[in-house]
Amino acid sequence: MTDGLLSQSFTSAAADTDRSVDPDLVARARAMAAKGTVLLRNENDVLPFTAGTRLALFGRIQKDWIAVGYGSGGDVNPPYVTNLLDSLRESGRVEVDLQLAQQYEAWCEQNPADPGEHWGAWPRHYPEMPLDDDAVREAAGRNEAAVVVIGRAAGEDRDAELAGGSYYLTDAEHALLSQVTGAFDRTVVIVDGGNVIDLSWTENYPLDGVMIAWAGGMEGGRATADVLTGAVEPGGRLTATFARRYQDHPSAGHFGDADVTAYVEDVFVGYRYFETFAPEKVLFPFGSGLGYTRFDIKPTGVHADEGTILVRARVTNTGDRPGDEVVQVYVHKPSGELSQPLRALAAFGRTGELAPGESREMELPIAWADLASYDDAGATGHRSAYVLEAGSYRFHVGHDVRSAHDAGGVDITELRVVQQLEEAAAVDPAHGFERIVLEHDENGDPRIGYAPVPTRTTSLKQRILDRLPEAVDPPVGDEPTFEEVLEGTAGLDDFIATLTPRELADLTYGDVTMDSPLGAAGNAGALGGVSRALRDRGVIPAITTDGPSGIRLSTHASLLPCGTALASTWDPQAVQGLCARHGQEMSRKGSDILLGPGMNIQRDPLCGRNFEYFSEDPLVSGLTGAAQVNGIQSQGLAACPKHFACNNQEFKRSQVDVRVSERALREIYLRGFELMVRESSPWAIMTSYNKINGVWGHYHYDLITSILRGEWGFTGLVMTDWWMRMAQDPDFPALHDSGYRVRAGVDVLMPGSIHSQQPVRDEGVLESHRAQDGLTLGEMQEAARHVLGYLAAVRPQGHRMGRGEREEH
C-alpha cells in the first residue's frame, strides 16, 4: 500500500486497550522465531552459553530490538515487543553485565530510536552509543564473553541501499567490533533484521559466533535469548545466499532502475547462479546453518517409477545433544538444449528431534513433472512446453547446497513432453535483451554465455476475443436473494443473472477507502457488499487486513515472525500450525481476509520487502506459502497471497517495467505461486504494482486469465494492490481503467477509489460496458461469480463488527 499518513492513523488510536493474546499463539511464535534463527559460525562451541556465564552485551539493538520490517507487512499494533537485554535477564540462565546494561539503557532513553515521520522514510539503522576503549576493557575484565548486536530494517517503499547503516556496517559499528574483539577472548555477533546484508566483515574480525536472528516479531527477543542460552536449538537454515560482495550477485547492475529492470540472470537466480558459475564468491551457501549437535546424512538410494522419484537417506545424530536436522535434496539436470543450473532444490524435510546416537530413515518424494523445464524458444522442438530432456538426473543429499553428496541418478533415454502449454506473458519484441545461458570452456568447465531472449509471437487481442465468457440468462420466476444462495435454495448463477449492470459494477470495487466503516477500526478495506443495494439483496461485505506478520488493525494484535524467519525453519507443518492459531485471532478481531503471505522471490538483497518474502528459491517459497494459507484457511477465513507477480523492488514499484523471459517467469517467479495454489487453493490473490513485460500486473490478462486461471485452475477472487495506475486498454480502445482491469480477469479494485487522497471511485467498468464494443455482460458476471463465490464459500463475519453503513456511491 502507498498512503502511509492515512494508514498510520489507523494504529495511532487503538479501538480498545485489550493487550491479551492467545498464550498458545505466543508460544508458537516464540518457538518459530527461535527455529528460524540461523547460526552461521560456532567456533569451539562457544554457543550455547552455559548456565551462569557472565555476558557483556554491546550495541543499542539489545534494547531497541527490531521486531519486523516497515510498511503494511509489519505495521501491526502489538501489545508488547520483547528485546534481547530484558529477555536474557528474565531467563536467569546467564549473568548480564549490570553496569554496561544500565549505561545502554540510559543512553537509549536519552537518544530514542527515531521511528521516522513519513511513510517510506523510516530509518534503516539506529546510531550507536560511543564507548571508549577503557570501558570496553573493563567490561572484558568482568565478563567471560561478549555479544554484539547489529540491527537493520527496510520495508515497503524503502529498499536497502549500498551504504553504511543499510547493506554495509557503519564506521561506528566497525569501531565497536574492533574494540570488543580486541578486548574479549570470546565474541558472538547477532544480526537482527529481515534482509540479507553484507557479512564479509565476519572474515575480518576474530568472531567465535555469528548468528542471524531474523525479525521474530514481538517474541523475537525472547526467542534469541532461548537460542543463546541453549533452551532451544538454532533451527534455521538460510533461504538465500550470502555472497562475499554485493557486486557478485547476478542481479547487481540490474536492480533499482526507475523505468526498466531486465532480469538478465534468467533462471540463474541466487544459488543457481553461484553454484554453477561462481562458487568461490559465496560466503554462506544457500541452505546452510548450524545446530548445537552434529548430524551425519548418508544417502541410501534413489528409486524411480513413471511418476515419482524417491530419495532415501539415513540421518544420525552424532553429537551429544538432542536436535533435529533439515535434509535437503538437489537435482542436477542434464544440460541439453536448455541451460540448467548445477543444482536446484528438489525436496526437503526435517527429521524431528533425534537423541544423541539416534538415527532416522528419511524418504523424500519428487514428482517427475516438478523437474521439467520450460522451453520458451523451441530449442527442444517443443516450444511453450514443459519438457524433461534425455540424460542423467543426478540427486544430491545433504545439509546445504554446497555440501550435499551424490545420492544416485536416474537416466531418461529420450525427451519427454510433460505439459504442452501456450505462449503467455512473453517479452515484447520491441524490448528484447540478452539473458545468461550456460556454456562450457575448452576444459568442459561452465562459463557464462549470453543469448537473445525469445519474444512474443502471438496475438493477445485475438486470444481474449476467442475466450470472452458467455452471459448467463435470468431465471424464470422470482429474483433470488443471496441468502437463498447461502441456504442452497438458489443457484449462484441464477442470482448473478438478476444483478443489474450497476450492481455487477459495484462488486468489482472495494469500499472507497481504507478503514471501511463496514468493518473493525483500522481495516485495510472492504469488498463484496459495499453498496446499499447489494446489502439489501443479502450480499455481505468481507473485511481485509494487512499482513502477513500480524493483523493490522487499530486494536492490539500479535506481531508474528517475518516471512524470512518462518521460511528459515524449513518446516511447513509448523508454519501451518502457527498460522491456524493466527486465523483464530483474525476471527476474534474481525478480519476476513489477511493480505498475505508475501510470495515474491528474494531476487536481490536490496529489495526492501524481502523480510515479508520467503526465499530466493521457489520450492521453499511455494511450500511455506501454502502452509501459511492452509493454516489461516483452516479457520474458515481467507489468505490473500501477493504480489502477483515480480514485485522484487520497492523503488518506483508502480512505474518499473520488469522484463523477464517466459522461462524464468514460469520456473522462478511464478513457480512458488503455482505450488502454493496447487497445495492450498487460496480464496484470493493480489496483483502487483509493477509492469511485467510492458503490462501492469492488474491489467495482465496472460498472468491472470491464461496462466493463473487457465493453466493452474485457480477459482478464487483476484484483487489489486491498493490504488492502481489507471490506463486505457491498448487492444480495446473502448475499455479504460477498471474496464481494462475486469477484462484482464482482475475482479476487485482495492480499496475502491481512484487514488488515496479522495474517496472517489472510477466508473471505468460501467463506462466500458456501455461503450460500443466494450466490456461484455458476461465479463462483468464472471467477476461477480468470483467475488460472490468467495462470499458464499467463506461467509465472512467482519460485517458484524462494522461501525456504520456507507451510502450508495
Domains of the chain: residue spans and CATH: 37-234 (3.40.50.1700), 286-420 (2.60.40.10), 461-799 (3.20.20.300)
How high is the pLDDT of residue 311?
Answer: 98
pLDDT greater at residue 746 or residue 547: 746
User: What value does the mean pLDDT take over residues 70-74?
Assistant: 91
Beta bridge partners of 151: 192
Q: Is the pLDDT of residue 809 over 90?
A: no
With b for 16 or more beta-carbon neighbours within 10 A and e for fewer, the 692-724 pattern comes to: bbbbbbbbbbbbbbbbbbbbeebebbbbbbbbb
The two beta strands, 385-388 and 373-375, are: antiparallel
Confidence band of 801 (pLDDT split at 50, 70, 90) = low
Q: Is the pLDDT of residue 10 over 80?
A: no
| pLDDT per position as a tens digit, 219-240 | 999 999 999 999 999 999 999 9
Neighbours of 457 (CB within 10 A): 11
Percent of the chain at pLDDT exceeding 70: 97
| pLDDT per position as a tens digit, 772-799 | 999 999 999 999 999 999 999 998 875 5
**What's the angle, vertex CA 693, arms to CA 689 and CA 698, rounded to 5?**
35
User: What value does the mean pLDDT take over residues 44-48?
Assistant: 97
User: What value does the mean pLDDT take over residues 338-353?
Assistant: 98
| pLDDT per position as a tens digit, 361-398 | 999 999 999 999 999 999 999 999 999 999 999 999 99
Give yes or no for a contact between 392 and 410, defined as CB atoms under 8 angstroms apart: yes
Q: Which residue, among 156, 169, 152, has the nearest Cα to 121 in the 3D structure? A: 156
| pLDDT per position as a tens digit, 425-448 | 999 999 999 999 999 999 999 999
Angle between helices 98-110 and 133-142 (to 10 degrees): 140
How high is the pLDDT of residue 637?
Answer: 96
Active site residue 208: no
**What's the angle, vertex CA 525, arms to CA 521 and CA 527, rounded to 5?**
130
pLDDT greater at residue 420 or residue 19: 420
| pLDDT per position as a tens digit, 718-777 | 999 999 999 999 999 999 999 999 999 999 999 999 887 788 889 999 999 999 999 999
| pLDDT per position as a tens digit, 688-698 | 999 999 999 99
Percentage helix, strand, coil for the chain under 3-state DSSP, each rounded to 5: 30, 20, 45
Length of the chain in terms of residues written: 809
Arithmetic mean of pLDDT over the chain: 95
* Residues in contact with 170: Cβ distance below 8 Å, sequence separation at least 6, in sequence order: 125, 128, 164
- DSSP secondary-structure letter at 539? P
Q: Is the pLDDT of residue 2 over 70?
A: no
**Residue 722, φ and ψ in degrees, nearest 5:** -80, 125
Angle between helices 572-589 and 618-633 (to 10 degrees): 40
pTM of the model: 0.96
Confidence band of 703 (pLDDT split at 50, 70, 90) = very high
How high is the pLDDT of residue 795?
Answer: 85
Confidence band of 11 (pLDDT split at 50, 70, 90) = very low
How high is the pLDDT of residue 13?
Answer: 43
How high is the pLDDT of residue 1?
Answer: 46
Is the previous residue joined to 597 through a cis bond, with omega within 30 degrees of 0?
yes
Task: Report how far residue 324's alpha carbon sits from residue 351's, in angstroms, rounded to the nearest whole number.
Answer: 6
Neighbours of 476 (CB within 10 A): 6
Q: Which residue, among 650, 736, 717, has the nearest Cα to 688 in the 3D structure? A: 650
Q: Which of 721, 729, 737, 762 is catalytic?
A: 721
Residue with cell string 544500565: 102
Give yes or no for a contact between 690 and 647, defined as CB atoms under 8 angstroms apart: yes
| pLDDT per position as a tens digit, 492-545 | 999 999 999 999 999 999 999 999 999 999 999 999 999 999 999 999 999 999
Annotate 355-369 with DSSP letters as a single string.
-TT-EEEEEEEEEGG
Task: Report how far residue 369's alpha carbon sits from residue 55's, in angstroms, rounded to the nearest whole number.
Answer: 53
Three-class DSSP category at 98? helix
User: What value does the mean pLDDT take over residues 468-489?
Assistant: 93
- Amino acid type, 148: V
| pLDDT per position as a tens digit, 194-204 | 999 999 999 99
Q: Which residue, among 752, 704, 758, 695, has the nearest Cα to 727 in the 3D structure? A: 695
Is the previous residue joined to 639 through a cis bond, with omega within 30 degrees of 0?
no
User: What value does the mean pLDDT take over residues 410-427?
Assistant: 98
Q: Where are any strands of DSSP class E within 177-306? A: 187-193, 209-214, 242-243, 260-262, 282-284, 295-304
- DSSP secondary-structure letter at 642? B
Confidence band of 800 (pLDDT split at 50, 70, 90) = low
**What's the angle, vertex CA 518, arms to CA 514 and CA 520, rounded to 5?**
75
- DSSP secondary-structure letter at 311? E
Q: Is the pLDDT of residue 804 over 70?
A: no
**What's the angle, vertex CA 483, arms to CA 482 and CA 489, rounded to 5?**
95
* Residues in contact with 445: Cβ distance below 8 Å, sequence separation at least 6, in sequence order: none
Task: Report how far residue 627's alpha carbon sits from residue 613's, in angstroms, rounded to the nearest whole number.
Answer: 14
pLDDT greater at residue 12 or residue 87: 87
Residue with cell string 516479531: 217
Give yes or no for a contact between 719 and 687, defined as CB atoms under 8 angstroms apart: yes
Cell triple for 426: 512473453
| pLDDT per position as a tens digit, 105-116 | 999 999 999 888
Q: Which residue, among 522, 514, 518, has the nearest Cα to 14 in the 3D structure? A: 522
Annotate 54-84 with DSSP letters as a single string.
EEEEESGGGTS---S-BSTTT----S----H
Task: Report how far residue 528's alpha carbon sits from residue 525's, in angstroms, rounded to the nearest whole number.
Answer: 11
Task: Report how far residue 784's alpha carbon sits from residue 472's, in angstroms, rounded to the nearest whole number.
Answer: 12
